[in-house]
Amino acid sequence: MINQHIIRNIIIETPSKPGNFAKVATAIGIAEGDIGDITTLKSGALTTLRDISVTCKSEVQLQQVISNIEAIGGGVKILAVTDDVLKAHEGGKIAMKRRVDVRSLGDLQRIYTPGVASVCMEIFNHPEKANYFTSIGTSVAIVTDGTAILGLGNIGSVAGMPVMEGKAVLLDQFVGLSGVPILLNTSDPDEIVETVKHIHQGFGAILLEDIGSPHCFEIEERLKAELSIPVMHDDQHGTAVVALAAVISACKSTGVDPKKAVIGQIGLGAAGLAICRMLMAYGVEEVYGIDRQEDATDRLVNYGGKTKATLEEMMESCDIIVATTGVSGLIKPEMVRKGQIILALSNPNPEILPSVAIAAGAAFAADGRSVNNVIGFPGIFKGALDAGAKEITYPTLIAASLAIVDHTKQGELIPNPLDPTLHHHVARAVEEAANSAK
């Protein structure tokens, strides 16, 4: 069953007296609702109006939140419950926009006919100038077949379009790149590879997104081998970059040398296998993986990793545990070894809650809410394009991870994804690593 969190905005009026908002927050907390943004819409002498974003795990929990607030009384009122998530997506989140104005016939002649012909011939005679005189060098194709959309599964590429638009928004806002969603109605690796090969000339890079396992591995490997522009499956390597950064930051907080630690990866899907490969590329000497599917563990072994027989054996023998199974509550408190680092990264519900892991003896624990690939992929693509790289390599990905760690405040796991300097810091590190490899 799909576990889909519900986000609602609750407009609440309270008497303008100290303590009333605390009652509202307590009512939401008792129902285990998660408070997000709080916007004060009006602060009057008699009443205060607030817009509170609340995340719930189900409609039943949402109704409990509403009932708890309504039961406060004393002038506390719910004026509206709105779905601002749907509202934010009305009409889509992106559009192709012009970068120049056409205000005269002279403008028209320069940007279109007859002036544009000379630019066309300049590119014909010097193909490399297409990156300078067109948008190709700053455009990224966001390609999906819709087989692994978020935690929702195979819902198709059209239903996944809001995710692709979201990627495009982040590329534009954080690093100034144009992301163009490409929705495919096939999951056949041959057809996907051929389609991308036929359209790739209009883009500076290819971002593969929400393509399911195991065909995602074949598709990425073939496209990387056959195209001369950067190709990256974000669910694999974008996630792995941020996960490696999180592991390094957690080790810094606990005084552990990650390269000497025994690290166990639970779940060897697209993200899990990529995390193992990233850890090995970074220099971790002992990386173990476990998965219910034998072909998944075989892939890890082919890449040089090792396996464990059971989950219990993994928990007993590893210093650091990373989990990406999507199975809520998979790791039981009694499995936790004292002093372990546990990163239970499945969203929306982790394999074990950080608070439960800490109470069971873990030295450090975190979930996947903060370990999000948005921290990595914008800067990775920006850096690769700025360097004129033909591929995204492990040295560039590791450089991105280290840049994230370098930008992480002491005591935190990873930096704030909304920090604009972060993405340019990552881009510069990737560009330098790519240039040094030329």
Is residue 84 within 8 A of residue 38, CB to CB? The reply is: no
Owner of token pair 């033909």: 390
For residue 30, the number of C-alpha atoms closer than 13 Å in the C-beta half-sphere is: 15
Q: Helix count (H) and strand count (E) of the chain? A: 17, 14
Owner of token pair 């163009």: 180
Owner of token pair 């166990």: 264
Active site residue 112: yes
**CA distance from start to end of the chain:** 48
> Catalytic one among 112, 132, 260, 409?
112
- Give me the sign of the Cα torsion angle 303, 235, 261, 348: negative
**What is the H or E stretch that residue 133 is in?**
helix 130-133
Query: What backbone phi and psi angles, to 5 degrees, belong to 343?
Result: -115, 100
Rounded-to-integer distance, Cα 28 and Cα 30, Å? 6
User: How many Cβ atoms from other residues are within 10 Å of residue 97's Cβ?
Assistant: 7
Rounded-to-integer distance, Cα 245 and Cα 413, Å? 8
**What is the H or E stretch that residue 78 is in?**
strand 77-82
Q: How far is CA 54 from the centre of its chain?
A: 21
DSSP letter for 153, please. Answer: B
Active site residue 167: yes
Helix (H, G, I), strand (E, B) or coil at 237: helix
Helix (H, G, I), strand (E, B) or coil at 55: strand
Q: Which candidate, 173, 175, 166, 201, places its Cα nearest to that of 382?
A: 175
Is residue 204 within 8 A of residue 171, CB to CB? The reply is: no
Q: Which two tokens stand for residue 398?
A: 């590791």
> Catalytic one among 167, 224, 308, 382?
167
| Residues carrying an active site annotation | 112, 167
